[in-house]
Amino acid sequence: RWQTISSWPKSNQWILTIPVWYNLDVVHDFSSSVLLTYKGKMLLLSPDMPTTGTPQHLWRLISGEKEDPESFEQAICRRIKHTTKLELTNIQLLSPAAHNKGKHFYHGELTDNDVNSIERREGQRLEFFTLVELERLTLTEATEGLLNEYRNTVEKLFSRE
């Protein structure tokens, strides 16, 4: 995003436009998130460089906003593709918006081929973590809230893998 700020001194009315990147998970409450799992670990993303509004090493789920006329499932699949370059078709709804304060929560189980095909975007880190490793991470408020609310469901998913 671009942000326009007035530079000093104000009497000259100079305008300086500088690029400012905001981590949208901090300033925006997305309508859908997805828990991508692989062999007992979940995929999280974090900025690879400090950004305005988000410190480096703040981890989150892949999340996104629905655009007309797509469905919430299409929206989250679009975000997965944008973030990882993966085109997944095996996404399952864990919780519809009515049960989660307006947020849809999905799950997708990745295959060996999926994991080997992941491409990260410049400026982002994608890593897999176990539930135990998750306890040592700093998560965004939205991700932490979602994982806490669905802790039993998430633990059951991990016990199946």
Q: What is the pLDDT of residue 55?
A: 53
pTM of the model: 0.75
Q: What is the pLDDT of residue 86?
A: 95
Is there a contact between 5 and 16 (Cβ–Cβ < 8 Å)? yes
Q: What is the pLDDT of residue 30?
A: 56
Q: What is the pLDDT of residue 53?
A: 53
Backbone angles phi, psi at 36, to 5 degrees: -95, 125
β-bridge partners, 26 = none
Q: Is residue 114 scored above 70 in pLDDT? A: yes
- In the numeric block, which tokens belong to residue 143? 């991700």
Q: What is the pLDDT of residue 31?
A: 75
Helix and strand numbers (H, E) in the chain are 6, 10
